Chains A and B, each alone.
Chain A
């Protein structure tokens, strides 16, 4: 007995990585495999399309919208069944990787832009969607230039559901209580933090257990100290290194914010939702996040008290109209899909219907497609209008670190920034750490 459990334990340890792959795999295999036949033939056959998505929350407008569209499509095409596989973002990322490793990808899945989806494209797992984009004029519904983040060598591989920018949300009531105004420079922002702190108000909230949150803020600072976008691209092109003064200055600025006590105690044990909840329950005065958070804040208890402002200049550098850009997660089609044509037809229809439905479900702030309609008249909140107006002022910007650099380098960066919350570190050393990781993983 003892021996058995010992062995069992050993096995469990050694094969953890393997066993994780076992959770993958809902494959669509009913219906025959002939996607080569003429369309009139195939339309007679019963077909199941698996649709992996990241809208598991039934209270999320996007979940309702997806269910509605899927039901409608199934009614219109009785021979097609669409099987939903709704997962949280992190679970979906993991599941897709394991499915990809065993070449059992769902027909439709979700990928993230640029560097994050590149391994999938390189492994030829995604189907090019150029032909499908030309049908029904789908291509023109997307915002200009947005599809570039999902295109490699002239082929577009995924269709984004969102296009967001990073802003600072602030609680007007708490700002009034402390008698502070919206800062226009980083130095003023530090003063605001200190004043709020002295009045016993938590200045900023962050969910740094999910380390991308801190990185997102840091990258916005780098966008300022670098006096414009493109720092990471320059590093990739070997025109600059991480030991560049702009990077060091950004680290210093970031540390000064942490040292001023801007973030809640124990920030690194708060996950994304817990961090956001501090702001949404009125316990923190400022919250730096992508505009996708707008919907959630609107349905929280601080609705109506919240405004937004652009991240300010640092030491007079940078342009506040340049933002952290966050082209959203995007729908892609598996290259090995057994029903490639049908899947493309469905996704085409789905994306064509997406903007109108999202607009009606009040979920159209920050979607990746052009929307016809008067937001104000449709009953969108003042904060949503403010965010929409910021969109009009966007003059370029940068992508998040993990969308630009390969995953291994990105992990080192994320950990390095997370460490700044826990202990003060010399900026030059942080820069050196980044450079070493970059060189190690880009051989």
Chain B
């Protein structure tokens, strides 16, 4: 501290404003939300304290909850599985395209589109052929008529259709992050490696990857957390339906809090989600610390 040559008081004075704001908009709501999770409350009338009753119902009696958790985790797994693909795209861009800026920007384009626009767009693409759905029409045109589905309304495929849209939208995002990471790897290392006979994917394995592990980690964390809280896209495209087939934790929370008017119950789901996120972040950090040690 003394290195800074300012008194602790000064430090405190400068940190305090943001600290107060941070606590006010981050920790207080979380605590309030956790407390409401212990209430039997419809959001309007008088709340009744019921202890852990909500959690008991959530874990043992809610037929929607665990499938929703499963879908959320699947979502996270798919999103994370996308990162190596994004890395591959980034490597190929770096190696084979002389001025990849235009391509990178085009890949990035879906990310800046509003989720509502993306949702409506894909809804139209997934429509039945008779309603002008592009995907089904293309399948019919190339003679794969038997592969057509009602992509968003058949409970067995609807969730996968949603995963795909999210992956499509965020591929460019992660490609950009990885690409920037690769650009930061000094060119000299590659030159030295070339002299030693390491080129192409061998160089990627031993040079690119170890050097961008921190960046890789950012992507993984972003993808994981992002998919845990996926809400808007699902709301726009299916609203959790048909019949809960595409409900994830956050949509279930919304439905319970605002449609079923069980605000307390919804808060207990929110609490679960916060804890899940914390736990997952902790786990990912642990894994990556090990990984970084192995490669450095």
**Chain A contacts to B: CB under 8 angstroms:** 2, 5-7, 9-20, 94, 97-98, 100-101, 119-120, 122-123, 125, 209, 211, 264-269, 406-408, 410-411, 415-416, 418-419, 421-423, 440
Choose one: B217, B221, B231, B255; the contact of A411 (CB below 8 Å). Answer: B255
Write out the residue numbers on chain B whose beta carbons fall within 8 Å of the beta carbon of A6: 221, 225, 281
Shortest Cβ gap from B50 to chain A (Å): 12
A266 touches B152 (CB 8 A): yes
In chain A, what residue has the closest Cβ to B43?
A101
Write out the residue numbers on chain B whose beta carbons fall within 8 Å of the beta carbon of A7: 26
Q: Give 5 pairs: A residue, B residue, CB < 8 Å, sorted on A.
A: A11-B29, A17-B254, A97-B43, A97-B44, A264-B130
B270 touches A17 (CB 8 A): yes
Choose one: A2, A9, A101, A421; the contact of B263 (CB below 8 Å). Answer: A101
Write out the residue numbers on chain B whose beta carbons fall within 8 Å of the beta carbon of A5: 218, 221-222
In chain B, what residue has the closest Cβ to A406?
B261
B contacts with A, residue count (CB < 8 A): 61
Name the prevailing secondary structure of the A interface residues. helix
Write out the residue numbers on chain B whose beta carbons fall within 8 Å of the beta carbon of A418: 241-243
A129 and B174 alpha carbons, distance in the complex (Å): 59
Given A7-B26, A119-B261, A266:B32 Cβ within 8 A: no
A122 and B43 alpha carbons, distance in the complex (Å): 12
Given A16-B231, A266-B128, A407-B260, A423:B225 Cβ within 8 A: no
Given A18-B32, A119-B44, A123-B46, A408:B262 Cβ within 8 A: yes
A16 touches B250 (CB 8 A): yes
Task: Indicate the member of A119, A264, A268, A407 with the most B CB atoms within 10 Å.
Answer: A268
Write out the residue numbers on chain B whose beta carbons fall within 8 Å of the beta carbon of A267: 153
Write out the residue numbers on chain B whose beta carbons fall within 8 Å of the beta carbon of A100: 43-44
Write out the residue numbers on chain B whose beta carbons fall within 8 Å of the beta carbon of A264: 128, 130-131
A296 and B254 alpha carbons, distance in the complex (Å): 31
Q: Which residues 219-270 of B sit at the A interface, judged by CB distance below 8 A?
A: 221-222, 225-226, 228-229, 231, 237-239, 241-245, 250, 253-255, 257-263, 266-267, 270
Write out the residue numbers on chain A whose beta carbons fall within 8 Å of the beta carbon of B214: 2
B30 contacts chain A at the CB level, 8 A cutoff: yes
A425 and B225 alpha carbons, distance in the complex (Å): 36
B19 contacts chain A at the CB level, 8 A cutoff: no
B154 contacts chain A at the CB level, 8 A cutoff: yes
Given contacts A2-B218, A119-B42, A419-B243, 10 further A-B contacts (CB under 8 A): A9-B225, A9-B229, A9-B277, A10-B278, A11-B29, A20-B258, A119-B261, A266-B150, A268-B238, A418-B241
In chain A, what residue has the closest Cβ to B34?
A14
Choose one: A20, A101, A265, A416; the contact of B243 (CB below 8 Å). Answer: A416
A123 touches B44 (CB 8 A): yes
B104 contacts chain A at the CB level, 8 A cutoff: no
B169 contacts chain A at the CB level, 8 A cutoff: no
A2 touches B245 (CB 8 A): no
A32 and B123 alpha carbons, distance in the complex (Å): 51
A269 touches B29 (CB 8 A): no
Shortest Cβ gap from B180 to chain A (Å): 13
Choose one: B61, B153, B253; the contact of A268 (CB below 8 Å). Answer: B153
